[in-house]
Amino acid sequence: VSKNTGVLVSTTTSEIPDGGESVVINLDHGDPTMYERFWRQKGEEMTVVTSGWQHISYFSDVKNVCWFLEPQLVSAVKRLHKVVGNAITEGRHVVVGTGSSQLYQAALFALSPPDAPQPMNVVSAAPFYSLALHFHREDNIEFVSIDDRLLEIRATQMGGDANEFNKDEPYIELVTSPNNPDGTTKQAVGKGDKGILIHDLAYYWPQYTPIITAADYDIMLFTVSKSTGHAGTRIGWALVKDREVAKKMTTFIEINTIGVSKDSQLRAAKILQAVSDSCDRANQKEAAESFFDYSYKHMAERWKKLREAVNKTQLFSLPSFSTETCSFSGRTFGQLPAFAWLKCEGEAVDCESFLRKHKIYTRGGKHFGASTEYTRISMLSRDSEFKLFTERLPAIMS
Ligand code: PMP
């Protein structure tokens, strides 16, 4: 427990004074530390060693549209999508980013024409993932001009809830599926035929949702942050159908950060290959548990515990999800979202503030274009913090 903030930073409950009552439980961010234990068990097997002379050049593969993309990462990405069956990679360009957050911006840059008479609207159906829209919420975004081309991104503005957008003009729709914050499966909702779509599939992995089909969209974004839990590695990838769009996204990253850390790309490649290997071994019925078996069981257990905790009170409710059969695991289950979209029952309760009074930090509905009766709670914390949370929640009386 941090002396300065009272926030829980340790990993064992035995270190917590007074059973944890005085401790702040911070479930505001979706920091995916719950997977740490799986990777810890792997021990030295996952260690990456880099010599002083390695990865010095800016360039990775000058023949590729994305010239700073490491070939090993491409192989690892393609193999994993094939193993899981969650996205089509054939005939796609892979663009790597510093997290998928950078790829969001790169895609907006690539899709908004520099010479448009007015800013292009960027919409998403509420409740929507807020970080992606952060830069575009105001019309008057100022970017430091390192290069004239960077100013072109100003040609976008936040167009609001896609359900309500009905202007007869081009727009970009962000489709996050499964959705952050509420875990639902989403389809594009924008009316009219002038929408260009960006699909954020950060959570389209078998620990969160049954895999139904291999996604086949024009621009699909993924990240190691949510698939394997390596948020600190800061690697995301885009699967892009159109070569020109992939080229423009690459240009954005070139202007922005002159590429993406090679050390991180190679670490991400090693991690993704290890996940694929673990699935292969599990298929061969060896004793080893695959990463997705481990993470699915862990998520399913957490959701069970959370629902039990919520059912002990009259104060809160959670969304329910219908079950489907996952083509990857063969299991039939309902969504196990990375975030719980908790509703405070009763007259106009501000759920975020209410929980904050009980030292549980969450992110309220207003951050996602939704009502303050809702709040988003990370399900990805370490076990000790999650346990404290499920103990404290039913103890809140009113
Ligand atoms: N998309 C969604 C839906 C997310 O929830 C997040 C992380 N919270 C991201 C993208 C960004 O992930 P990163 O930049 O860590 O790859």
State residue 16's pLDDT score. 53
> What is the spatial distance between Cα 27 and Cα 4, in angstroms, rounded to a whole number?
18
pLDDT at 348: 73
| 189 within 8 A of 163, measured Cβ to Cβ | yes
**pLDDT score at 326:** 98
Q: Between the CA of residue 19 and those of 14, 22, 261, 388, what are the distances in Å?
A: 8, 8, 42, 9
> Residue 122 has what pLDDT?
87
User: What is the whole-number distance in angstroms between the Cα of residue 390 and the centre of ligand 1?
Assistant: 25
Measured from the Cα of 179, ligand 1's closest atom is 3
Q: Which two tokens stand for residue 349?
A: 């309760």
| 344-357: pLDDT as tens digits | 998 778 999 999 99
Q: What percentage of the chain has pLDDT greater than the value 90?
A: 73
- Show the tokens assigned to 4: 């300065």
Mean of per-residue pLDDT scores for the chain = 88
Whether residue 127 has its Cβ less than 6 Å from ligand 1 = no
Between the alpha carbon of residue 43 and those of residues 29, 37, 284, 367, the distances in Å are 27, 10, 22, 39
Higher pLDDT, 139 or 391: 391
DSSP letter (8 states) at residue 75: H
Pick the more confident residue, 251 or 166: 251
Atom of ligand 1 nearest to the CA of 30: 8
Q: Which of 131-145, 186-200, 242-256, 269-283 has the lowest mean pLDDT?
A: 131-145
Whether the pTM exceeds 0.95: the reply is no
Report the relative pairing of strands 25-26 and 360-361 from DSSP bridges. parallel
- ipTM metric: 0.99
- Looking from the CA of residue 29, the nearest atom of ligand 1 is 8
Distance 89 CA to ligand 1 centre (A): 20
Pocket test for ligand 1, best of 180, 203, 234 (most atoms within 8 A of CB): 180
- Residues 6+ positions from 366 with CB-CB distance below 8 Å: 372
What would the mean pLDDT of 392-398 be, rounded to a whole number? 85
Average pLDDT estimate for 194-200 = 93
Taking 80 as the threshold, does the pLDDT of residue 248 lie above it? yes
Residue 163, token pair as written in the block = 């359900």
Task: Flag whether pLDDT at 263 surpasses 90.
Answer: yes
pLDDT one-digit tens code per residue, 58-95: 999 999 999 999 999 999 999 999 999 999 999 999 99
The amino acid sitting at 219 is I
CA distance 157 to 159: 6
